[in-house]
Amino acid sequence: MISSLQQKLDAGEFVITAEVCPPKGSDCGEFLEKSSNLRGHVDCINVTDNQGANMRISPLAAAALLVQSGIEPIFQITCRDRNRMALQSELLGAAALGVVNVLALTGDHISFGDHSQAKPVFDLDSVQLLKTISELGEGRDLAGNPLHGTPHFYVGAAAAPEAEPFPLTLFKLEKKVSAGARFFQTQAIFNPEKMRTFRDAVSHLNVKIIAGVLLLKSAGMARYVNAHIPGLSVPASIIEELESAPSPIVKGVEIARRLVGELRPFCDGLHIMAMGREELIPEIIKEVR
């Protein structure tokens, strides 16, 4: 089965994806409501995998609930919490449940999250996970055993256009594409010129680029991003805008909408991260839609 996301990107259509965090608990009502409210505004919903190393419901369960609701998910799967056996089992389960789009990630380290006493796994990294998905797609597991039913995924990987040193970043991205990545979803971009440079640098990889836009809700949030999230850099001018605004969230939406317009010429789609304010996404993307 070819996903709608793949069909649109292959056809040259501009896509919009959004991130909705699964609940910390078994009640998925709010998660499904937020996702359903984005129907018609976005093409896919990213389901995060214990985002920031904070424990939440299984992303596979959440992605399957979206499929049941007629909403196309992008299933994020990380190497942090599973060994190679568990990763393969999760992926086969995803295929059986109709989940086609997969974003393969190494994962944030345990020390960043709410279970710092947990033991991280990292049996594989993101490149090895991509190779694993390719192996499954060829009808065998990592031990070389044949599969009864071959999964077919549309596979993406993460990219950080503003990370330095960039040559090292580019080398890793080349390995990801060689291992099977068909699209990149990027970390949040605050400097559109960096996006132009990134697009030109990866043009030889023939991979689709979905550029990340983060809704900054306050100057404090922007400073936290700069202090704690590697590869992200919020310019001082944006922090000043947020600091002087009568309503920081209104200003944050304005900044996100501006970035959407500035980034659009350099990518194949946009990935909106609203961090709990998903109801504002239609306002952020309204000029695109």
SS3 270: strand
Each residue of 31-64: pLDDT tens digit? Answer: 999 999 999 999 999 999 988 888 999 999 999 9
Instruction: Kindly report the CATH number assigned to the domain that includes residue 31.
Output: 3.20.20.220
Closest CA to 210 of 264, 269, 161, 253: 269
Residue 210: its H or E element: strand 208-214
Each residue of 89-104: pLDDT tens digit? Answer: 999 999 999 999 999 9
pLDDT of residue 164: 84
pLDDT of residue 203: 96
pLDDT at 228 over 90: no
- Cβ atoms within 10 A of the Cβ of 162, count? 19
Residue 77: its H or E element: strand 73-78
Instruction: Measure CA 13 to chain center.
Output: 19
pLDDT of residue 230: 79
Q: Which of 14-28, 44-58, 75-89, 122-136 has the lowest mean pLDDT?
A: 44-58
pLDDT above 90 covers what percent of the chain? Answer: 88
108 pLDDT tier (thresholds 50, 70, 90): confident
How many domains are there within the chain?
A: 1
pLDDT above 70 covers what percent of the chain? Answer: 100
Listed in sequence order, the residues at least 6 apart from 274 whose beta carbon sits closer than 8 Å to its beta carbon are: 18, 19, 215, 280, 281, 284
Average the pLDDT over 259-288 and give the result: 96
pLDDT of residue 184: 98
Closest CA to 55 of 35, 94, 31, 81: 81
Contact in structure between 281 and 272 (CB atoms under 8 Å):
yes
Each residue of 234-250: pLDDT tens digit? Answer: 999 999 999 999 999 99
pLDDT at 113 over 80: no
pLDDT of residue 20: 96
Average the pLDDT over 113-129 and give the result: 91
Contact in structure between 17 and 271 (CB atoms under 8 Å):
yes
Share the mean pLDDT of the chain: 95
Alpha carbon distance 135, 269 (integer Å): 28
Alpha carbon distance 57, 73 (integer Å): 15
- Cβ atoms within 10 A of the Cβ of 211, count? 28
Alpha carbon distance 216, 252 (integer Å): 5
Q: Which domain holds residue 243?
A: 4-285
pLDDT of residue 111: 77
pLDDT of residue 289: 72
Q: Which of 1-5, 132-136, 246-250 has the lowest mean pLDDT?
A: 1-5
